[in-house]
């Protein structure tokens, strides 16, 4: 049995990060031709090539993805499907923003984080949604939970064989929140403040955009290995022991159908979702994204916080983990109602108490 589980774990690593071919190491992630093609199509979004883009390659982009999608080998579905809601279909508004609906937690829900040069999106999209729900339940609008703890310590069968910077599954992370819990942990820039247990240890960087002052491009950093899982806090000045710093979820579940996803957001807050990333997504600048051109690069996990309509186009609003220099100040919108890029097929959340 041990050998069988080890083989499954190894297969999960292989399938979480998309295969990288020799040509990927030299092929630019964003080209003028791709941007021109998208913009000439006059779709619902704008593509752009950053003026100082540092020639990131397809291979570098693939390494920063890392979510196993439905239908791929080793995908582990969530067993429980939530089907009962208090909100009626007629009561669903045309637009919704969790930052407004749960205004006491606006700074937590709207906080844009940075996974750096690591395939830890699965840990960020999950930990952030958990964080939002903890804030909504407890009223604690200052505590940040630790994607570092999730990325480093959520592994094995409990975590659907997630493997840190080599990719993982939000379903596994939410199961881990229930069984083990996650510690507090702020961002890379907060290291040394001693205010949280495990701030993120990997350097922030600009993802597919011109680096703002004081920030380097992600393609200039190494592809980070998964940080070591420790049973102690990395901040020596933090006074609470790691074992006493854990916060747990009461349950985890998935939600199906557009209407039920909307009801879930209204009643309980943001959820974790996954999408297939195509080449043109790397050139996203603003607007309501829908796939126009380019091949699949891999799966990506993010946090869904709301929806709306833009000039007749229905959309979802999501928070990415590529810091505020990317997209619409770190967020993006994607077509709603047609399972664009698989965005509505793999929704994970859970009940979180104070």
Beta bridge partners of 97: 306
205 is known as an active-site residue: no
Q: What is the pTM of this model?
A: 0.92
Number of helices followed by number of strands (H, E) in the chain: 9, 12
Whose tokens are 């220099």? That residue is 325
320 is known as an active-site residue: yes
Q: Is the dihedral of CA 300, 306, 308, 310 positive or negative?
A: negative
pLDDT tens column, 237-290: 999 999 999 999 999 999 999 999 999 999 999 999 999 999 999 899 999 999
pLDDT tens column, 201-244: 999 888 877 788 888 888 788 878 999 999 999 999 999 999 99
Q: Are 169 and 67 in contact (CB under 8 A)?
A: yes
3-class DSSP assignment, residue 298: strand
Q: Which residue has the higher pLDDT, 333 or 4?
A: 333
208 is known as an active-site residue: no
pLDDT tens column, 12-21: 444 556 777 7
Q: Region 339-351: what's the mean pLDDT?
A: 98
Q: Are 308 and 96 in contact (CB under 8 A)?
A: yes
| Whole-number pLDDT of residue 216 | 86
DSSP string, 30-63: S-HHHHHHHHHTT-SEEE---TT----BHHHHHH
* Cα gap 19→24, rounded to integer Å: 9
pLDDT tens column, 144-182: 999 999 999 999 999 999 999 999 999 999 999 999 999
Percentage of the residues of the chain whose pLDDT score is greater than 70: 94
Mean pLDDT of the chain: 91
* Cα gap 336→71, rounded to integer Å: 21
| Whole-number pLDDT of residue 1 | 41
What's the chain's length in residues?
Answer: 354
pLDDT tens column, 119-133: 999 999 999 999 999
Q: Which residue has the higher pLDDT, 349 or 12?
A: 349
C-alpha distance from residue 260 to each of 80, 137, 297, 351 (Å): 14, 20, 29, 15
Catalytic residue among 131, 175, 320, 323: 320
Residue 31 burial by CB count (10 A; 0-12/13-18/19+): exposed, middle or buried? Answer: middle
Q: Region 21-27: what's the mean pLDDT?
A: 80
Catalytic residue among 121, 205, 218, 233: 121
The CATH number of the structural domain formed by 2-349 is 3.90.70.10
Side-chain-side CA neighbours of residue 339 (13 Å): 8
* Cα gap 16→299, rounded to integer Å: 8
Angle at 182 between CA 205 and CA 331, to 5 degrees: 40
If you compute the radius of gyration of the chain from its CA atoms, what whole number of angstroms results? Answer: 19
Q: What are phi and psi of 157, to 5 degrees?
A: -60, -40
Catalytic residue among 118, 291, 300, 341: 300
* Cα gap 310→303, rounded to integer Å: 20
| Whole-number pLDDT of residue 302 | 98
Sorting pLDDT into bands at 50, 70 and 90, what band is 55?
Answer: low
Angle at 272 between CA 271 and CA 275, to 5 degrees: 130
Strand 253-255, strand 271-278: pairing: unpaired
Domain residue ranges in the chain: 2-349
pLDDT tens column, 56-101: 788 878 877 889 899 888 899 898 999 999 999 999 999 999 999 9
Whose tokens are 């104070």? That residue is 354
Of residues 183, 110, 176, 180, the one with CA closest to residue 141: 110
Q: Region 339-353: what's the mean pLDDT?
A: 97
| Whole-number pLDDT of residue 133 | 98
* Cα gap 47→24, rounded to integer Å: 21
| Whole-number pLDDT of residue 32 | 87
Whose tokens are 């009223």? That residue is 139
3-class DSSP assignment, residue 291: coil
Q: Are 298 and 24 in contact (CB under 8 A)?
A: no
| Whole-number pLDDT of residue 69 | 92
* Cα gap 17→279, rounded to integer Å: 15
| Whole-number pLDDT of residue 14 | 44
**CB-CB neighbours of 265 under 10 Å:** 27
């Amino acid at each position: 049995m041990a050998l069988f589980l080890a083989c499954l774990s190894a297969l999960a690593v292989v399938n979480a990060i998309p295969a990288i071919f020799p040509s990927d190491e030299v092929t630019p992630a964003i080209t003028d031709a791709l941007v021109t093609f998208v913009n000439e199509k006059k779709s619902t979004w704008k593509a752009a090539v950053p003026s100082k883009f540092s020639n990131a390659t397809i291979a570098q982009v693939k390494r920063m993805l890392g979510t196993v999608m439905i239908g791929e080998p080793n995908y582990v579905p969530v067993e429980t499907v939530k089907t009962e809601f208090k909100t009626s279909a007629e009561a669903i508004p045309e637009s919704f923003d969790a930052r407004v609906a749960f205004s006491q937690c606006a700074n937590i829900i709207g906080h844009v984080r940075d996974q750096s040069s690591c395939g830890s999106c699965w840990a960020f999209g999950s930990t952030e949604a958990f964080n939002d729900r903890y804030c909504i339940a407890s009223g604690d609008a200052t505590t940040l939970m630790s994607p570092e703890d999730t990325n480093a310590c959520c592994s094995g069968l409990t975590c659907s064989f997630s493997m840190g910077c080599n990719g993982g599954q939000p379903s596994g992370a939410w199961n881990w929140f229930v069984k083990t819990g996650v510690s507090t942990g702020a961002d890379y820039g907060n290291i040394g403040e001693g205010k949280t247990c495990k701030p993120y240890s990997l350097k922030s960087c600009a993802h597919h955009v011109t680096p703002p002052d004081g920030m380097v491009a992600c393609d200039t950093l190494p592809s980070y290995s998964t940080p070591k899982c420790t049973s102690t806090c990395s901040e020596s000045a933090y006074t609470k022991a790691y074992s006493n710093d854990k916060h747990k979820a009461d349950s985890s579940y998935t939600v199906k159908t557009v209407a039920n996803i909307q009801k879930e957001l209204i009643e309980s807050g943001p959820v974790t979702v996954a999408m297939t990333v195509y080449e043109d997504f790397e050139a996203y600048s603003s607007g309501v994204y829908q796939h126009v051109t380019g091949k699949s690069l891999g799966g990506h996990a993010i946090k869904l916080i709301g929806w709306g309509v833009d000039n007749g186009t229905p959309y979802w609003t999501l928070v990415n983990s590529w810091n505020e220099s990317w997209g619409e100040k770190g967020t993006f919108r994607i077509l709603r109602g047609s399972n664009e890029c698989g965005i509505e097929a793999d929704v994970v959340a859970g009940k979180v108490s104070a």
